[in-house]
Amino acid sequence: MSKDLGYTFCSAADSRAYFVAAVVKELEDRDVSHAVVFEYHDGQWMRWSMRSRIRSLIALRELNAVSMMVLTEEGRVRVSRRGEVSDEDVDPGEEGPTRLRPLSFIRAIGSHVYAVGMQRQVYRRSLHAAGWERIDEAIRVPRSRQDIAGLRAIDGTPDEKQLIAVGLGGEIWSWRNGQWSPHDSPTNARLHTVRFVQPNKVVVAGARGLVLIGDGEDRWRELAHDAGNVTFSCIETAFGRHFLCAEPGDVYELTDDDRLVTVDVGWIGGGGWLDAGRDILLAAGNENVTAFDGAAWRDSTPPDAP
């Protein structure tokens, strides 16, 4: 546990290569934009800092190398690959992301990385080459309008034939054949996360303890559970099992018969984020980072001074 740092995000390629984002508590209390990133490779940690807040973080395995993408509050993506770092402007144009209409999340789906954010912005780029393109023409709220709308997460099938994005006001949007269409959402609660846990089974979760289970079409049902009025932040699949994390730092498993069962991961503090690699599941909270290898959880908190 670190007295000075609070851990915010994590992402893993596998048990030999993963990344953890953090903030310095003193700087965060003074509202200073910054972030600390820890990289773990084959038993060794390295640490670097940036003068921007991190909105999202993903690890990517490319052949024999692992790269990392960091989405910042200004709508830029920093790519770290084989020790080289480059920055990409997702969209520097007038209708692009800003601190007032930020992008909030990135995810690798199929052969692309997707980014979503406020005003229903959606972008994508190839996994292997820079260059972002808009795919939100039918749903984006232009800067000239005052409507408040936003997407918080996106996921899709590995072949990218279907995408589902979720966000503010309970909005659920589906992408098929290059077209977006709204779902008849059963809620107006803020939705934070979405995952295809099976080709025809989608789990969505967010504020007010809400968990929805859908069939990938436009049929949703609310899951009853005993977790209370928490905010679920993310959903991950690892070792053939499905896990949800709630912002108090609690982790749950969604069983095959759709029950939500508490998982003892040890104390990670408030907040809470999950990410799965090939043979590892990471859980990061304000105080600690822990890892699951399919059998047991172990502490994986980065050292203060690697």
Question: Distance between CA atoms of 100 and 213, rounded to whole angstroms?
Answer: 32
Buried b / exposed e across 121-159, counting CB within 10 Å, b at 16+?
Answer: bbbbbeeeeeebeebbeebbbeeeeeeebbbbbbbbbee
Q: Residues 91-120: pLDDT tens digits? A: 999 889 998 899 999 999 999 999 999 999
**Per-residue confidence band for 128, with pLDDT thresholds at 50, 70 and 90:** confident
**Per-residue confidence band for 63, with pLDDT thresholds at 50, 70 and 90:** low
User: How much is the pLDDT for 56?
Assistant: 97
Which DSSP letter does residue 190 get? P
Mean pLDDT throughout 185-205? 96
Residue 226 CA neighbour count, 13 Å, CB half: 3
Over the chain, what is the mean pLDDT?
A: 93
Best CA proximity match to 112, nearest among 167, 161, 182: 161
Mean pLDDT throughout 174-179? 93
Task: Enter the tokens of residue 194.
Answer: 């979405």
Best CA proximity match to 22, nearest among 39, 38, 11, 7: 7
Question: Distance between CA atoms of 139 and 149, rounded to whole angstroms?
Answer: 10
Mean pLDDT throughout 177-192? 95
Q: How many residues does the chain have?
A: 306
CA dist 258 → 59, 107, 134, 213, 219 (Å): 29, 25, 36, 9, 16
User: How much is the pLDDT for 146?
Assistant: 77
CA dist 78 → 51, 130, 132 (Å): 12, 11, 13
User: How much is the pLDDT for 2?
Assistant: 67
**Is 159 in contact with 177 (CB distance < 8 Å)?**
no
Question: Distance between CA atoms of 263 and 274, rounded to whole angstroms?
Answer: 13
User: How much is the pLDDT for 236?
Assistant: 98
- Say which CATH topology domain 94-223 has: Methylamine Dehydrogenase; Chain H (2.130.10)
Mean pLDDT throughout 142-147? 82
User: For 115, phi and psi rounded to 5 degrees?
Assistant: -130, 135
Is pLDDT of 62 > 80? no
- Could you state, in order of their start, the residue ranges of all structural domains in the chain? 1-89+266-306, 94-223
Is pLDDT of 216 > 90? no
